[in-house]
Amino acid sequence: MLNISELMDDISSTLVDTANSEVVVGQPIELGNATIVPLSRVSIGFGGAGGEGDQQFGCRNGRRGGKGKGSGAGGAAKVRPVGVIVFSEDGVTVEKIPDRLSPIEKMFEKVPDLIERVHKHR
């Protein structure tokens, strides 16, 4: 079993490999007399935890005590298109792609305000 440090190293290196510069500024696309370059926002996050125990505790099936070890880690990468650069005979323009947040993303945007309200009412 990998320890937590090894898990975190594996996850972070995989996420860094995912977020290379080509992901942020995409490959040019030829479209008629214009060239379009996609622009994306990359979000990366990861976390991990570990635990260990060797004290006697609790009672399970008539037996007392036990030993335990555990570790876990997870990570995620998200790529969202934010705009395009258009190179044409008329010049260069940057076109923004409007944000479309999912219901879950909208909910997470409100979490900091909710936490602040809870702390004020304590």
Distance CA(17)–CA(13), nearest Å, equals 6
Q: What's the distance, CA 49 to chain centroid?
A: 17
Q: Which is nearest to 86 in space by CA: 42, 19, 32?
A: 32
Does 118 or 1 have the greater pLDDT score? 118
Distance CA(96)–CA(82), nearest Å, equals 6
Q: Do 57 and 67 contact (CB within 8 A), yes or no?
A: no
26-48 mean pLDDT: 87
- 66-109, pLDDT tens digit by residue? 677 887 877 777 788 889 999 999 999 999 988 777 788 778 78
pLDDT tier for residue 121 given thresholds of 50, 70 and 90: confident
- 51-61, pLDDT tens digit by residue? 777 766 555 66
- The pair of three-digit structure tokens given for residue 16, joined into one six-digit string: 């860094």
